[in-house]
Amino acid sequence: MSKNNSFIPEIAFLVYDPDIQLYRKKHELVVSYWRFLVFSLYSWITGGRFTKTLAVMSLGLALISCADTDGPPKDIIGTAATGAATQGTVFVVDATGVAISKTINADGSFRLDVRHMTAPFMLKSVASNGVDPDLFSYVAAIEGASATVNITPLTNLAMFVANGNADPGVLYDSWASAFGNITATTIKQAQAVVNANLHTQCTAFSLDPFTYDFIGTRFYAGGSGTGIDGMLDALTIDLVAGTVDVIGVGTLLFNYAISTVGYDIGGDSAATSGAYLLKMRLSVDGGSSSSDLTLSINLPASLVATDVDSQVLQDTFRSFYGSVGSVVINSVTVNPDAVTPSTIIAVVDATITTPEAVDKNYVATYTYTLNP
């Protein structure tokens, strides 16, 4: 009996992957899969044991062939912003010179699939308004499924510094031959230079200038006015003729040779080993005490509050004021001193409700100074 295979769909289509912007025609492959599957099912229904075994094997091979062979995902995710979210396009170029692009989302976020590309990568954001300058950033490698890489005036400034105080746009255009001049180490050092110059501004927006990684720390350009989002709103950084002007929270002259001793971008702000002198000053409902209270002469470094572990600070506060009434911790900030990195200043803001049901605002400032 002749077999009529006219019902087998002759599927011809183009599969579009928006992340890597490649079209791949799969007409003949898909038609072959359909025929293979139908033949296997037909053989199973009409054949004997041997034929059924072959049919099962054929079906398994067909299903395996249909599986995704693109490999595990490797994504670059991040935020492009100048304060407000960047509206435009993000580009990435790899070590072989292959470049792809994608439209930036309305909130400034983006995601690029680079699984078929070769690290290290340089990124560029191009604003659609035709006015804002192109901004650049960098990532050495993708560890795991994704890596966070932001593109902001700060990342652009770091690329400028890492490139020997030269235009990062030229570096981007020649990345395939020039990427060896830029490493994760040079980028970290450039970030340290930026943070050291903007130490006061970082502190004003509750960012630890000694450790804050403005390239690899995820943030949202939501107009919150706090953290890195607030700092970007307040600053304007221009690279013109090899000079840097920073205008916003004070005006400064950018110092490329500034000391970066004590800076560890991406570190955890752990206290330097040694014994610390701990003093506290208290403010209650806006009225400050006239002098500091010495809490410890030789406090071990393991008990010094850091930006990643402030629990010891909260426990200390509750141990002093828990007997006064119920304690609610509103906020905690921990930052190295702007002048002396070995001095750490921590502030806890709390509300204490007295037994008489009266709310009092307590702000305790703890100063940890490494003993000489």
Q: What is the mean pLDDT of residues 207-217?
A: 90
Alpha-carbon span 372 to 107, nearest angstrom: 49
Alpha-carbon span 96 to 117, nearest angstrom: 8
Residue with tokens 């295979």: 5
**Statement: residue 17 has pLDDT above 50:** no
CB 289 within 8 A of CB 282: yes
Alpha-carbon span 321 to 323, nearest angstrom: 5
Alpha-carbon span 145 to 159, nearest angstrom: 25
Secondary structure class of 178 (helix, strand, coil): helix
Nearest to 171 by CA among 103, 124, 221, 216: 124
pLDDT at 319: 76
**Strands (DSSP E) along 195-342, which ranges?**
236-240, 243-247, 252-253, 275-284, 287-288, 293-300, 326-336
Give the chain's mean pLDDT.
78
pLDDT tens-digit series, residues 319-367: 777 777 888 888 888 887 766 767 888 888 889 998 888 999 999 999 9
Select the highest-mean-pLDDT range: 49-58, 128-137, 230-239, 249-258.
Answer: 128-137
Structure-block tokens of residue 154: 């700060």
CB 202 within 8 A of CB 209: yes
**Statement: residue 139 has pLDDT above 50:** yes
Going by DSSP bridges, is the β-strand pair 243-247/252-253 parallel, antiparallel, or unpaired? antiparallel
Alpha-carbon span 66 to 357, nearest angstrom: 68
What is the dihedral angle through the alpha carbons of 9, 13, 17, 23, rounded to the nearest 10 degrees? 140
**Rg of the chain in Å (alpha carbons):** 29
Q: In terms of pLDDT, which residue wins out, 316 or 42? A: 316
> Is 0.85 surpassed by the pTM of this model?
no
DSSP structural state of residue 226:
S
In the chain the first and final C-alpha atoms are separated, in Å, by: 99
- Between 92-106, 128-142, 200-214, the lowest mean confidence (pLDDT) is in 200-214
Q: What is the mean pLDDT of residues 367-372?
A: 84
SS3 breakdown of the chain: % helix, strand, coil, rounded to 5?
A: 30, 30, 40
pLDDT at 12: 31
The model's confidence at residue 144, banded by pLDDT at 50, 70 and 90, is confident
Helices and strands of the chain, counted as H and E runs:
9, 18
pLDDT at 92: 98
Residue with tokens 């002198």: 277
Q: How many CA atoms lie less than 13 Å away from 176 in the CB half-sphere?
A: 5
CB 349 within 8 A of CB 330: yes
Across the chain, which distance is largest between two alpha carbons, in Å?
105
Q: In terms of pLDDT, which residue wins out, 168 or 306? A: 168
**Statement: residue 4 has pLDDT above 70:** no
**Statement: residue 264 has pLDDT above 70:** yes
CB 271 within 8 A of CB 344: yes
